[in-house]
Amino acid sequence: MGDAVTSGFTEKFYRSTDGLRLYARSYQLADKEPDRLPIVCLPGLSRNSRDFHELALILSRDTVSPRRVVALDYRGRGLSDRDGNKANYNLAVECGDVIAGCAELGIERAIFIGTSRGGLILHLLAEMKPELLAGVIFNDIGPVIQPPGLMAIRDYLNRDRKAQSWSEAADVLREDHAGAFPALGLTDWESMAHAIYREQNGVPVADYDPAIAEQLKTIDFDNPLPDLWPQFENLGAIPLLLIRGENSSLLSRGTVDEMAKRHPDMLQITAKGQGHAPLLHLGDIPHTIRMFVSKFG
């Protein structure tokens, strides 16, 4: 994809409390130091900071109110170290890594965007360090996960099909997800491929520890999945924007309605023609996010 996806940000490596080398990227105009709250972006289960590249450029280069945007790679994803103890791929440990990353980057308070797993981590962050949260944007996630959606993630992450070229990587993604994402065009699938895969020995490979996908095989779907309603209650006084994919199989309308009942001031937007999880730089989503963050200093 060229320089378009490798510029516009600076890179930072920091250490987790147990010594892993973790990665973050920070988007900020070199000639400006806006005195505004930053935005911190947390990706999904197997995803990484590259998911937010296009949105981060939009927000950091906004002509009216540019903001610093930080995107993190959790342990085992992207440029962060893989963890030898696979049990550490859990929400509590990853939440601790987010706290460590904010401390390293000098972020005492921010607006957080959490996609899928990133939103689950934000539920825990509201318990573990609520003072960090000035505002929260959930991208297709809430306190309740629908089993069919999680089963679908389990199945496509554990498929054995390996792409042999970048065009084939985009084809694999389109074959897996096109039904839920009619809004995406060819360039969108190519961009997604470069966010999800990295090149190794001349071919694209999924950019996460395979143990993360293996964990999903151990889930017992015969029993109800645990919910995070008690943690969601801690977000009651925090401004909240919910983005739901129109075709999401992970976040139900019933859960959204209950979230709105418990958090009456929650704003909502539907990502038309998208499933789980919506690409945040498409359609009206960037405008909605800009409007939401404009209320913060």
Which residue's structure tokens are 């999924």? 206
CB contact at 8 A, 80 and 19: no
For residue 5, count other CB atoms closer than 10 A to its CB.
14
Size of the chain in residues: 297
CATH of 2-147+227-293 given 3.50.50.60, 3.40.50.300, 1.10.630.10, 3.40.50.1820: 3.40.50.1820
Please tell me the distance from the alpha carbon of residue 60 to that of residue 62, in angstroms, as a whole number.
Answer: 6
Mind listing the pLDDT tens digit for each residue in 66-120?
A: 999 999 999 999 999 999 999 999 999 999 999 999 999 999 999 999 999 999 9
Burial label for 30, CB within 10 Å (0-12, 13-18, 19+), is exposed
Query: What is the b/e burial string over 157-190, where b = at least 16 CB atoms within 10 angstroms of the residue's CB?
Result: beeeeebeebeebbbbbbebbeebbebbeeebbb
Write the pLDDT tens digit of every residue in 140-183: 999 999 999 999 999 999 987 889 999 999 999 999 999 999 99
Residue 162, helix vs strand vs coil: coil
Q: Which residues pair with 200 in a beta bridge?
A: 203
In the predicted structure, residue 260 carries a pLDDT above the cut 60: yes
Dist. CA 30–CA 42, nearest whole Å: 23
C-beta of residue 78 within 8 angstroms of C-beta of residue 55: no
The predicted-structure confidence for 127-151, as pLDDT tens digits, reads as follows 999 999 999 999 999 999 999 999 9
**DSSP secondary structure of 231-262:** HHGGGTTS-EEEEEETT-SSS-HHHHHHHHHH
Q: How confident is the model over 31-44, as pLDDT tens digits? A: 555 679 999 999 99
| CB 71 within 8 Å of CB 43 | yes
Buried b (16+ CB within 10 A) or exposed e, 125-134: bbebeeebbb
Q: Could you give the 3-state DSSP secondary structure of residue 61? A: coil
Residue 283: which region, alpha, beta or left (left: phi > 0; alpha: psi -120 to 50)? Answer: left
For residue 96, what are its two tokens? 């601790």
